[in-house]
Structure 1
């Protein structure tokens, strides 16, 4: 049985969506012990990539997380184009689509700071540890600040 994380990452990868894994899942991949309940990805905002993203997630009924049930929400290229960051719930798990992240910028600025990792039989892009620490520090939320010390210790261990 695939986990929600595996299903989400597989759907994005197999649809050839251009994205970089950031946030808690990236921290876990680098060795953090903290659990996270959603997938955060920075995504390319090109028209072709927006189309791939819409197609990849459409089967999982994306809906705005925290929005009242029944609120009209159109999962479409136009919706993605008119917004930037989306916190979504899907039938297989929560995903945050980030057109830009504090301290890191848009996908194109993050991509050079990503490393390739293999997970679930697929090559995925993951924000590297120095940049993950940088964006967590820039976000400045208590949960981000708490994980920075652990990430810095992991970075030190790696030399």
Structure 2
């Protein structure tokens, strides 16, 4: 079992110059509701140069598809063209689970979300997370129980006089 080391993942993405935004629990945490998570969900700019940088970062992290018989699929998540053309990649890395998503319900164009993103601290590493309204829109579109709970908790935090 790999130890989950989010700081290592974020540091590796940053060192390789990957233009990305976290969208899952790390974004929820950055917006004020601290909850447990065991992976990092993110989106990235899909231009060729960024996919080359992302592929290099994933290669350094020894990324491989997660799931039953994933290795039999013959899909290499460290290939830039594969990353550009895939819808999502659920991976294990030497620093823990990582999900790269290209097709996220409720998401708008990457540049729009990037313009509203904010920086947050994750284990001493500065990370970019989607803005509050973008996060809520994606969670509403997903409609999963955990996402609806996140929306409720984030709303409560926003209404709290301590914030």
TM-score (ref. length: structure 1): 0.88
Structure 1's unaligned 5+ residue stretches are none
Cα deviation, 1:98-121, whole Å, max 9, x if unaligned, reads: 223211234223212211224444
| Residue 151, structure 1, aligned to residue 116, structure 2 | no
| Residue 77, structure 1, aligned to residue 101, structure 2 | no
Could you say which structure has the higher strand fraction? 1
SS in 1 for 2:46: coil
**Separation in 1, partners of 2:149, 2:121:** 27
Aligned to 2:56: 55
Asked whether the 8 Å contact 1:10–1:120 carries over to 2, the reply is: no
Aligned to 1:34: 35
Aligned residues: 158
Asked whether the 8 Å contact 2:7–2:124 carries over to 1, the reply is: no
After TM superposition, give the deviation of residue 141 of structure 1 in Å. Answer: 1.0
**Separation in 2, partners of 1:132, 1:28:** 11
TM-score (ref. length: structure 2): 0.86
